[in-house]
Amino acid sequence: MARVDTDTSIGGSQSRFPDTRHSAIRNLGSLDSRLRECALDALIAAYWKPVYKYVRVRWSQSNENAKDLTQSFFARALEKEFFGGYDPAKARFRTYLRACLDAFLSNENKAAGRIKRGGDAMIVSLDFETAQGELRQRGTASAGQSPEEYFQREWVRNLLGLATEDLKHECEERGKQIQYRIFERYDLDDSAARPTYDGLAAEFTVTTATVTNHLAAMRRRFRHLLLARIRETAVTEQEFRDEARTVLGIEA
């Protein structure tokens, strides 16, 4: 079963669950430091794992190098305002970020081998141990998968994970632990044999109808939180819809 832990505090305070998240990318250049900070949190939450895994797998970097390069990339991106040059009319933000990352890594490679990045400021605390564990478990690229496809796959995985985490914390705050546990048992279970509704009803001493109602409500909320996470990483409405179709696996 996929256990969902709170292993990092990135992405902002987990006690905030706004009903509507706005585009974080747009706020990166805001004059309001609070808005800028929130935007940074959201950006890093959505992208640091895909970036780290991409550096490890696609650029064949060691764990230590990949950790340093991931930190450096975000630090440099903010310092040099890489993302200020993003034009939503030309590409999705995700594609733009990956192009920036490739250019950054290419420059790093050219600069007399690996440069020890000890001098760079650590912008956030990222849980690289977990990310490395995930790579060992399932992070390798499939045969024939392009760098873009690999990055996208990991980005989708990360966003779904974030939405799951959001749902868990929201349920804890609102006293809906049983509802979440039913969702976790039925929808996040990785084992071949998914529990039956009747089995869950017996396990949680509720009726089968209650199980299906709880599941429907949790899925509805999960969908809402997932779309909110996607909205946060898109600039325009069209980009949001395109990215949502990618994440949800709907053909455009």
Least distance (Å) between residue 58 CB and other proteins: 17
- The answer to whether 219 contacts other proteins (rule: CB under 8 A) is yes
Residue 68 CB, shortest distance to other proteins, in Å, is: 21
- Rounded to whole angstroms, the Cα distance separating 87 from 99 reads 13
Buried b (16+ CB within 10 A) or exposed e, 206-215: eeeebbeebb
- Closest distance to other proteins from the beta carbon of 242 (Å): 10
Q: Using alpha carbons only, how large is the chain's radius of gyration in Å?
A: 19
250 part of the interface to other proteins, by CB under 8 A:
yes
Q: Judged by CB under 8 A, how many residues of this single chain contact other proteins?
A: 41
- Is 66 within 8 Å of 56 (Cβ atoms)? yes
Q: How near is the Cβ of 213 to other proteins at its closest, in Å?
A: 6
- The nearer residue to other proteins, 120 or 127, going by C-beta atoms, is 127
Q: Residues 160 to 189: which contact other proteins by CB under 8 A? A: 160-162, 164-165, 187-189
Residue in 31, 112, 205, 251 binding other proteins, rule: CB under 8 A: 251
Of the CA atoms within 13 Å of residue 17, those in its CB half-sphere come to 19
From candidates 36, 75, 88, 134, binder to other proteins by CB under 8 A? 134
Residues making up the chain, counted from first to last: 252
Which of 190, 229, 247 minimizes the C-alpha distance to 45?
229
Q: Pick from 42, 69, 200, 226 the residue near other proteins by CB under 8 A.
A: 226
- Shortest reach from residue 65's CB to other proteins, in Å: 21
d(CA 138, CA 230): 23
3-state secondary structure of 138: helix
Q: Which two tokens stand for residue 29?
A: 């250049």
Residues that bind other proteins (CB under 8 A): 2-8, 49, 130, 134, 137-139, 156-158, 160-162, 164-165, 187-190, 212-213, 216, 219-220, 222-223, 226, 241, 244-245, 247-251
